[in-house]
Amino acid sequence: MMPASPHLANKKVYMETLGCQMNVNDSELMLGLLEQQGFGVTYDPRQADLLMINTCQIRQHAEDKAFSYLGRWAALKRQRPYIKIAMAGCVAQQAKDTVFKRIPGVDMVLGTQNLHDLPDLVSKAFAGQTHLLAADKQKRYSTYDHTVDVTPRRENDISAWVTIIEGCDYFCTYCVVPYTRGRQISRRPKSIIEEVKDLAQFGFKEITLLGQTVDSYGKDFDDPTYGLANLLEALNEIDGIERIRFTTSHPLDLNTPIIQAVAALPKVMEHIHIPMQAGDDVVLERMKRGYTAQQYYHLVDEIRDTIPNVGVTGDYIVGFPGESDAQFQRTVDSVSRAQKDAANTAAYSPRKQTPAGIWEERNEGVIPDEVKRERLQILNAAITEQARKKMAPYLGQTVQVLVEGQSRRNAERLTGRTRNNKVVNFDTTVPEHELVGQLVNVAVTETLPFSMLGKHVLAAGSVPPALAGAPVALV
């Protein structure tokens, strides 16, 4: 462990995190590294000595947001020249050669596989150096294998993100992730198991294993027979952890052993987030997803046949170059065919470095923004309708909920999720601090499309396997 540096003690960092849960986990790790160096954390950028942003490039909007923060911070730095500015994450990885010119004021740029280099960069920056860059992708080990002695700084003390595989080898034609995160690298099982044991000791009850293609876990190991199913089995043995989740699954990797592990292992929750992206075979092929709609439906049927009460969620993109009305309609139809519990949707956003981005630049099959907006509305309405149907049978049921804290909408209520990831807001007479982190029974009194309301059932009784889910996606 690196000793705290005296010249960094009493300094404060403000961290802004954009993007997916993996970025959230990366920010937690970076804050853990900075705390080891002596930094404190502030939630007020005006109090910070170090302003740090962890960026996302998945869509143009996310990228613009990152540069807008940096622009504002650069202006702040002109008034307070002692402030240091650091940029990390997916935009940093891609823009590493231009950022110092584009935003004068940025002192440090940290690539997605260089988190462990942060302390060195920060020490140098506060010693007066600037234009510090560490963004050499394609390391042999996962970032998290480089930082096994660091305790990430987690905001939530019940439920923890645990990254198990970084990068992606699929190269879907619309997606930046393989470029920003690099090739797939699985973290060693030993370091994952040790981290989860530590989390259990600290009182965490739930872990969510993260990866862009979490079910590819282990494919890059010398022994390719070790996969996600084996890891789930090992983690299921850890005392204190009550619930294990994983996201995001790729349809080509979600195999029978993983599905059977979810069904058989009591701590592994009945929820699969498995994006379909589009319901039409020609669009799927142009996206280079590697499966047909029928293959996707067969997989979902296997999931539902093997795992009782499973929640199935996913992602869709509308307005992919060349998508006709009829092709879009197949996406809409897939929502009910796959009986989706919920799904994230996005209008296609062209990304320069990808093949589909290049078609867009050549004006091949570009779908106008107003058509994308209209299709999004139609698809969201279909998802809401399907979600409503999936939620309705919970009325009058008793579900098991892991209590997370106060409901966001109503401070009088507590909130948590069922085994299959449906959000439950409920009334109780028990004080919040006594229930947070506990598994409780809730009698459902009202269902909405994406959540349910209920009353805490105090008497110990038998609980039917929890039905219930809100989308847990990477974005």
Q: Which residues bind ligand SAH (CB under 6 A)?
A: 58-59, 174-175, 177, 212-213, 248, 250, 275, 277, 315, 317, 346, 348-349, 351, 474-475
Q: Decide if residue 349 touches ligand SF4 (CB under 6 A).
A: no
Instruction: Answer with the entry of ligand SAH, ligand F3S, ligand SF4, none that 226 interacts with (C-beta below 5 to 8 A by kind).
Output: none
Q: Decide if residue 278 touches ligand SF4 (CB under 6 A).
A: no
Find the shortest distance in angstroms from Cβ 167 to ligand SF4.
9
Kindly state the number of chain residues that form the binding site for ligand SF4, as judged by CB under 6 A. Answer: 10
Handedness of CA 94, 99, 103, 108 (dihedral sign): positive
**What is the Cα–Cα distance from 374 to 316, expressed in whole angstroms?**
14
Query: Token match 């993109």: residue?
Result: 317
Which residues are 457's β-sheet partners?
441
Instruction: Answer with the entry of ligand SF4, ligand SAH, ligand F3S, none that 348 interacts with (C-beta below 5 to 8 A by kind).
Output: ligand SAH
Q: Which of residues 179-218 bind ligand F3S (CB under 6 A)?
A: 180-181
Q: Residues 304, 310: contact at Cβ < 8 Å?
A: yes
**What is the Cα–Cα distance from 374 to 97, expressed in whole angstroms?**
38
The contact mask relative to ligand F3S for 151-180 (x = CB under 6 A, - = no) is: -------------------------xx--x
Instruction: Answer with the entry of ligand SAH, ligand SF4, ligand F3S, none that 74 interacts with (C-beta below 5 to 8 A by kind).
Output: none
Of the candidates 251, 326, 323, the one whose C-alpha atom is nearest the C-alpha of residue 283 is 323
Find the shortest distance in angstroms from Cβ 446 to ligand F3S.
34
Instruction: Answer with the entry of ligand SAH, ligand SF4, ligand F3S, none that 19 interacts with (C-beta below 5 to 8 A by kind).
Output: ligand F3S
Q: Residues 447, 215: contact at Cβ < 8 Å?
A: no
Instruction: Answer with the entry of ligand F3S, ligand SAH, ligand SF4, none that 23 interacts with (C-beta below 5 to 8 A by kind).
Output: ligand F3S
Find the shortest distance in angstroms from Cβ 87 to ligand F3S.
13
Strand, coil or helix: 274:
coil
Instruction: Answer with the entry of ligand F3S, ligand SAH, ligand SF4, none that 178 interacts with (C-beta below 5 to 8 A by kind).
Output: ligand SF4
Cβ neighbours around 157 below 10 Å, total: 14
Query: What is the three-state SS of 362-375?
Result: CCCCCCCHHHHHHH
Kindly state the number of chain residues that form the binding site for ligand F3S, as judged by CB under 6 A. Answer: 15
Which residues are 132's β-sheet partners?
108
Instruction: Answer with the entry of ligand SAH, ligand SF4, ligand F3S, none that 171 interacts with (C-beta below 5 to 8 A by kind).
Output: ligand SF4
Find the shortest distance in angstroms from Cβ 378 to ligand SF4.
22
Selected from 18, 135, 172, 342, the binder of ligand SF4 by CB under 6 A is 172
SS3 content of the chain, % helix, strand, coil (to 5): 40, 20, 40
Q: Decide if residue 474 touches ligand F3S (CB under 6 A).
A: yes
Angstrom distances, CA of residue 33 to CA of 89, 118, 271, 359: 16, 8, 32, 42
H-helix segments, 38-127 = 60-79, 90-95, 99-102, 118-126
Selected from 8, 15, 17, 23, the binder of ligand F3S by CB under 6 A is 23
Phi and psi of 52, rounded to 5°?
Answer: -130, 135
Q: Which of residues 235-274 bind ligand SF4 (CB under 6 A)?
A: 250
| Beta strands at 243-247 and 206-210: parallel, antiparallel or unpaired | parallel
How many residues does this entry show for the chain? 475
Longest CA span, the chain: 65
H-helix segments, 237-368 = 256-264, 281-287, 293-306, 325-337, 355-361
Kindly tell me which of 144 and 320 has the beta carbon lying closer to ligand SF4. Answer: 320
Nearest residue to ligand F3S by CB is 19
Query: Token match 């049927």: residue?
Result: 301
**What is the Cα–Cα distance from 147 to 135, expressed in whole angstroms?**
16
Kindly tell me which of 38 and 350 has the beta carbon lying closer to ligand SAH. Answer: 350
Instruction: Answer with the entry of ligand SAH, ligand SF4, ligand F3S, none that 57 interacts with (C-beta below 5 to 8 A by kind).
Output: ligand F3S
Find the shortest distance in angstroms from Cβ 282 to ligand SF4.
17
Kindly tell me which of 272 and 474 has the beta carbon lying closer to ligand F3S. Answer: 474
Find the shortest distance in angstroms from Cβ 55 to ligand SAH.
15
Of the candidates 382, 326, 321, the one whose C-alpha atom is nearest the C-alpha of residue 347 is 321
Find the shortest distance in angstroms from Cβ 177 to ligand F3S.
5
Kindly tell me which of 177 and 254 has the beta carbon lying closer to ligand SAH. Answer: 177
Q: Decide if residue 141 touches ligand SF4 (CB under 6 A).
A: no
Angle in degrees, CA 268, 306, 210, rounded to 5: 35
Which residues are 15's β-sheet partners?
52
Residues in touch with ligand SF4 (CB under 6 A): 168, 170-172, 175, 177-178, 212-213, 250
